[in-house]
Structure 1
Amino acid sequence: MSLAGSQQNTLLAMLARLRPHWRHDRTLPGRVQALLASDRRFGSRDRRLYRELIYTTLRYLPWIEPELERDAEQAVRLIAWLAADAPATAHFRHELIGEWPPCPAPLAEKAAMLAQRVGAADTAAGAGRFAPEALLPRWFHEHCADAFAPVQLDPLLARAPLWLRLQTDEPRSVTAEFEQLGWTACSSAVLPGALQLLDEVDVTRTDAFQNGLIEVQDLGSQLLLAAAQVAAGGHWLDACAGAGGKTLQLAALLGPGGTVDAHDVRRAALDELALRARRAGIPLTRSSSRSDVGRDIPIPAGAPVSDRSSPRAAPKRPAATVRILSTIPETLYDGVLVDAPCSGSGTWRRAPHLKWTTTPAHIDQAAGRQRELLEQFAQRVRPGGRLIYATCSLSRRENQDVVAGFLASRPEFAAEPPPATFGAPVDAFGLTLLPGLHNTDGFFVACMRRN
């Protein structure tokens, strides 16, 4: 049997094991990772190949699943054609679809070619089966009709680019290393300090990353706080800090005269935040109780934070002090950021399994929790202070509806237009960043002020 034939059989066996779960298990990436790690014959290139083929299947599931039932070998050819043309997939794609035309970028062109090639016996049926809008759940149209427009649908279903946030005022110290590695990077046209890498690479191995000169952060995530235009020098609470992407950005915006209190219920996420802050050279303390605020942070044993220096190392941008808190002190803040847990519908291009495992009930549950978080942390905003609510969801029920309900019950708060919009649409409740505008994930941000 040829190498490609063996790879085809391996892929089909993997898909058979994943199929009972891919419309029900929201932790599917963990299953995929375990599956790839379970075969000791796999090297890194094998894992990259099968990971790309599996995630291509999830991305285009409504197009591929019927073919798996009808003609498994044809389904594999479909997957190979839709998969990224990368070194890990090159041989497999050449052997299976060498005679096929190149896969075009626009979904409409993909759909037309597949309707002609795969659904040739019934062109009308083929065109319906490969409709681009079928690649999103039908029920989601009520939550975000704009996502189904081709200008949004194409980037929402494409592979996400790699965006970086510079943590130095000397970007040349970063790009020079990338050039030496043969990588291509370009600066954002809308946000200074945002850098896109055009190659599929592991940026965490670079000196720039190890020395804290860059952080991985989607451009859309960076634009949220940039839209709010946080004033320097304040005392802020990041109430749902997670692993700290926005915490570190907020610290950079506040500058050395400011303070960010970072809180999350997940200790592991706060441990990751601590490592990232230490790498970035940000002043850092950690406390476990109200009476313990200010204790020096204990870095977990064996933490993979490099102390290596490099000739490329440049001065890091001065930032606010970050205090990692397990319990929030009884104080009022100049501003509170509630980057709320959500359905993640804005990240479907990164996590395509969520398209098929998320239901309207999940969104309703998320919206209820988001409203509770807003109510809880709004109490920590001082009079005249700001409350910023953000999600990586495109669902109106998690975004505008949550803000509208909150404002109706809390008349002391009022919505304010974001000071900067970057061309994104703004309504009475906030700004929605759709993927088609700047090739970002989807986000929502609302700016409110306590009267």
Structure 2
Amino acid sequence: MTPNARLSAAMEVLDDLLARRRPAADALKDWGLSHRFAGSKDRAAIATLVYDALRRRASAAWIMGERGEAPETGRALVLGMLALQRGLAVDAISAMCDGSRFAPAPLSEDERARLAHPDLADAPAHVQGDYPEWIEGELAAVFGEELVAEARALSERAPLDIRVNTLLANREEVQNALAFLSPVETPLAPHGLRIGLGDDGRGPALQSEPEFLKGFFEIQDEGSQLAALLAAPGEKAQVVDLCAGAGGKTLALSAAMENAGQIYATDSDTRRLAPIHERLARAGVRNVQIRSPRGKADAVEDLDGRADLVLVDAPCTGTGTWRRNPDAKWRLRPGSLAQRKGEQETVLDRAARLVKPGGRIVYVTCSVLPAENDEAVSAFLGRHAGFSPVPAADLLAQAGLGALSSHVRETRHGLQMSPSRTGVDGFYVAALKKTDARYAMT
């Protein structure tokens, strides 16, 4: 397919997902099935166009005149994105829309005029920052005057980070082994490497590299690496990873504990645990016991009151991962936020029973919404009298990450990482210490 034909295809996919309000992945899959002549490179390029257009959905529609009640079109989103996201001049865009076979129709006079001066100066904040207007209050509460800058950072492409598995290798060894990919050390995480993306926004197929197959590294955003380090488990600690999922933070905890102590990894959804078995074996992990729930039985009931650390990597809206999932921001609804808040309450209450006196709950979300972060912790503290938050400065010091203090926002109960200030996905971390052996739910 020609570049022009790929533009037409992206517009078609976007029209489909806008009309049917469906996930981008589903629309892309259906397009591929009905256009089997398109090769893998074509499909990848079309997907990149679609996701880049979704990153700039509000601002692209604004500069193309699709405002208020006017329906958005795939054409407007792609054209606006080419000007805003990729910085193409109007003549370059016009050359790609020449009306030839499979190419988009030529630009109208109005489109040319708008693309010649893609100005957002008079646009409201939610357009400049490309986020749903209904969630502005939540975002403003955490970002304040930096709202638009942080929202724009959440609309950029995410980097490709890996975490070196220190049980089997060190960062220098892996960096040398992957020298052909020009990896650089992550700015903040001590065991991370960052690998450049291609012009299409995609990274190399790292999972086929010998070092990955040998367990020398895992693909993990630098923010996720830092969140695991902030949990600061002792080498001989008894740890429960209550929402282990595929095991990314479980693996990081095991490396931090040098394969000592004991980690119990569980999740309310057994299906999410499926990948963890292979990952643990590949990484050479020996101190993790997987507890898969069976029916309604509690897989960790025997651990109540025994855990030094309970990691709650809570289910959330994922607003902190919009760089990786631009489609998700436009499908987020108030009802989804309410559902996640209920799930967070349930898992935090379960964690409270697991931790022993003097132990800690470390609460992590990949969200930037106070409703899921500080407010969730405040509600927990209101229900549980025997817990107190660990100050952010102490949290950083205990993890040996004091230098991180200037890169995060200290909140009422924890700390918030973000793309603009920290250079990572939007992770929130808070630690809650069980201070009273007589603790009871109130």
Same fold, TM exceeding 0.5?
yes
Helix, strand or coil: the match of 2:236?
A: coil
Q: Specify the alignment match of 2:173 in structure 1.
A: 173
Residues 18-37 of structure 1 mapped to structure 2, 5 A cutoff:
18-22=17-21, 25=22, 27-37=23-33
Q: Specify the alignment match of 1:299 in structure 2.
A: none
How far off its partner does 1:357 sit?
A: 1.1
- Deviation string 1:111-149 (CA, Å, 9 cap, x unpaired) is xxx99951669x988843897535112222211214453
Cα distance in 1, alignment partners of residues 139 and 72 from structure 2:
33
Residues 282-297 of structure 1 mapped to structure 2, 5 A cutoff:
282-283=285-286, 285-286=289-290
Helix, strand or coil: the match of 1:241?
A: coil
Cα distance in 1, alignment partners of residues 193 and 242 from structure 2:
27
Of 354-363 and 405-414, more deviation after overlay is shown by 354-363
Pair 1:328-2:300 in alignment: yes
How far off its partner does 1:275 sit?
A: 1.3
- Structure 1: unaligned runs, 5 residues or longer: 86-91, 99-113, 291-324
Cα distance in 2, alignment partners of residues 236 and 414 from structure 1:
19
| Partner AA of 2:132 in structure 1 | P
C-alpha RMSD over aligned residues: 3.2
Q: Specify the alignment match of 1:391 in structure 2.
A: 365
Pair 1:448-2:422 in alignment: no
Q: Specify the alignment match of 1:382 in structure 2.
A: 356
Q: Specify the alignment match of 1:161 in structure 2.
A: 159
Q: Specify the alignment match of 1:78 in structure 2.
A: 80
Among 58, 61, 65, the alignment partner of 2:57 is 61
Pair 1:43-2:39 in alignment: yes
Contact 1:115 1:127 in 2 (8 A): no
Pair 1:211-2:198 in alignment: no
How far off its partner does 1:34 sit?
A: 4.0
Q: Specify the alignment match of 2:440 in structure 1.
A: none
Contact 1:187 1:195 in 2 (8 A): yes
- Structure 2: unaligned runs, 5 residues or longer: 99-109, 198-202, 397-401, 436-442
Of 183-192 and 2-11, more deviation after overlay is shown by 2-11
Pair 1:138-2:133 in alignment: yes
Contact 2:185 2:194 in 1 (8 A): yes
| Partner AA of 1:193 in structure 2 | H
Contact 1:80 1:97 in 2 (8 A): no
Among 223, 244, 249, the alignment partner of 2:247 is 244
Cα separation, partners in 2 of 1:281 and 1:120, compared to 1, 3 Å: closer
Q: Specify the alignment match of 1:107 in structure 2.
A: none
Identity of aligned residues (%): 28
| Partner AA of 2:226 in structure 1 | L
Cα distance in 2, alignment partners of residues 439 and 380 from structure 1:
34
Residues 89-238 of structure 1 mapped to structure 2, 5 A cutoff:
95-96=95-96, 118=114, 127-128=122-123, 133-145=128-140, 146-147=142-143, 149-168=147-166, 169-179=169-179, 181=180, 183-199=181-197, 200-238=203-241
Q: Specify the alignment match of 2:317 in structure 1.
A: 343
Contact 1:385 1:449 in 2 (8 A): yes
Contact 2:238 2:307 in 1 (8 A): yes
Higher relative contact order (CA 8 A, sep 6+): 1
Cα separation, partners in 2 of 1:50 and 1:410, compared to 1, 3 Å: same
Cα distance in 2, alignment partners of residues 428 and 115 from structure 1:
47
| Partner AA of 1:51 in structure 2 | A
Q: Specify the alignment match of 1:362 in structure 2.
A: 336
Pair 1:3-2:2 in alignment: yes
- TM-score (structure 1 length as normaliser): 0.78
Cα distance in 2, alignment partners of residues 94 and 259 from structure 1:
61
How far off its partner does 1:401 sit?
A: 0.6
Cα distance in 1, alignment partners of residues 73 and 16 from structure 2:
18
Of 253-262 and 150-159, more deviation after overlay is shown by 150-159
Aligned residue pairs, count: 389
Contact 2:6 2:42 in 1 (8 A): no
Helix, strand or coil: the match of 2:370?
A: coil
Residues 253-292 of structure 1 mapped to structure 2, 5 A cutoff:
253-283=256-286, 285-286=289-290
| Partner AA of 1:440 in structure 2 | V
Contact 2:129 2:148 in 1 (8 A): no
Cα distance in 2, alignment partners of residues 408 and 329 from structure 1:
24
Helix, strand or coil: the match of 2:178?
A: helix
